[in-house]
Amino acid sequence: MPRNGLTYAAAGVQLEEKDRFTESLGSILRKTHGPRVIPNPGGFAGLLRLDYNEKLFKRNYKDPVLVACADGVGTKLKVAGELGVYDTIGIDLVAMNVNDMIVQGAEPLLFLDYIAVPRVDSVMLTALVRGVAEGCRIAGCALLGGETAEMPDVYPPGEFDLAGFAVGVVDLERAVNPCRVRPGDVVLGLGSDGIHSNGYTLVRKIVSHAGLDLRAVYEELGGKAYAEGADGARSVPSRAAGRAGATGTRGARARPTLGQVLLTPTRIYAQPIVKLQRDYKVKKVISGMAHITGSGMDGNLCRALNTRVDAVIDWSSWPVPPVFRFLQRHGGVAEAEMRRVFNMGIGYCLIVRPDFADSIAARLKKLGERVYRIGKIVRGRGDVRAG
């Protein structure tokens, strides 16, 4: 026992380091703040204006309802930790929350994060929070605050955890309701940026079982990260690509390593979906939406259906990104299991009225999305089936 008695520092918690890290985050958070955020220096919680009569609340909701959700990024954290790449999973954290929220027809307003670590590493934590802030910027919401918990007795060195919490708003009469889905509606799919943040326990098992190297370049994954391109998809930040071991020559685009491809951030669909709904303020042309996460198309699209209809999906109607076939081949994974675990290239679905399907697809393409007509709604019992 220390001569002068036990201290928090001797127990493994460095309060001064944590305070310095927390104080350094102000400028990162402020970059995500709009006029709704009320400055609250030294406050124990963040403040955001929700007065729908204010001019700065541009949508002027008649009957505003708050929408809230919480989520994490699963064992994708393990891949990030193994590679020492922390500036992309914050984007994943925001995406997994706001993509769920917009399914309800909501506009994201604010985001909070919770980070648990064995000790405060300011460099690693700053990279994490910068990623969260970037996700909030893409989603159009404010990073209002968060919590960093230093718990050496819970998390061994090298381990950490993330959780996110989002709050949004929707006008009650505009909230998405599965009862509105009817036969004849069209199912549109929006392209994913790869695996997103589900199924990584299986991904990591495949990597280990097949003896794959996260820092190696595999020709099967293509000459560049497939999340890049003129179609508006986002790529892994170059800093992350470099640390993940991407190779290449000066002046040429580096080919992605397996680790870089696996850490491609989850695509955030919030702003295109919010803008689309603003384009149709009177007509309710969107009858349902679904975020395609764990349990795949079958386990998520069914949540947008009522018990009088089925969704019939044409699985050949969109290109499957190469990372899925790469993992399937190296893991010997059955097709049914792949579809049950992964998004297989479709990260978000909209069920729309048939007369508006083409115009909605065109609007979303202008907003940078890859859009595919992947199915139709028929009479049924609330199931999703191949057709």
pLDDT score of 106 more than 70: yes
Structurally, at CATH architecture level, domain 178-197+266-386 sits in Alpha-Beta Complex (3.90)
Domain residue limits, the chain: 8-174, 178-197+266-386, 215-262
**Which CATH code is given to the segment(s) 8-174?**
3.30.1330.10
Q: Which residue has the higher pLDDT, 171 or 246?
A: 171
Gap between the Cα atoms of 29 and 50, Å rounded: 19
pLDDT score of 6 more than 80: no
pLDDT tens for each residue of 175-188: 999 999 999 999 99
Q: CB neighbours (10 Å) of residue 100?
A: 19
pLDDT tens for each residue of 248-260: 434 445 789 999 9
In degrees, rounded to 5, the angle at the alpha carbon of residue 34 between the alpha carbons of residues 54 and 50 is: 35
Cβ burial of 99 (10 Å; 0-12, 13-18, 19+) is buried
pLDDT tens for each residue of 311-323: 999 999 999 999 9
CA neighbor of 24 nearest in space, from 94, 120, 88: 120
pTM of the model: 0.87
**At residue 336, what are phi and psi to the nearest 5 degrees?**
-60, -40
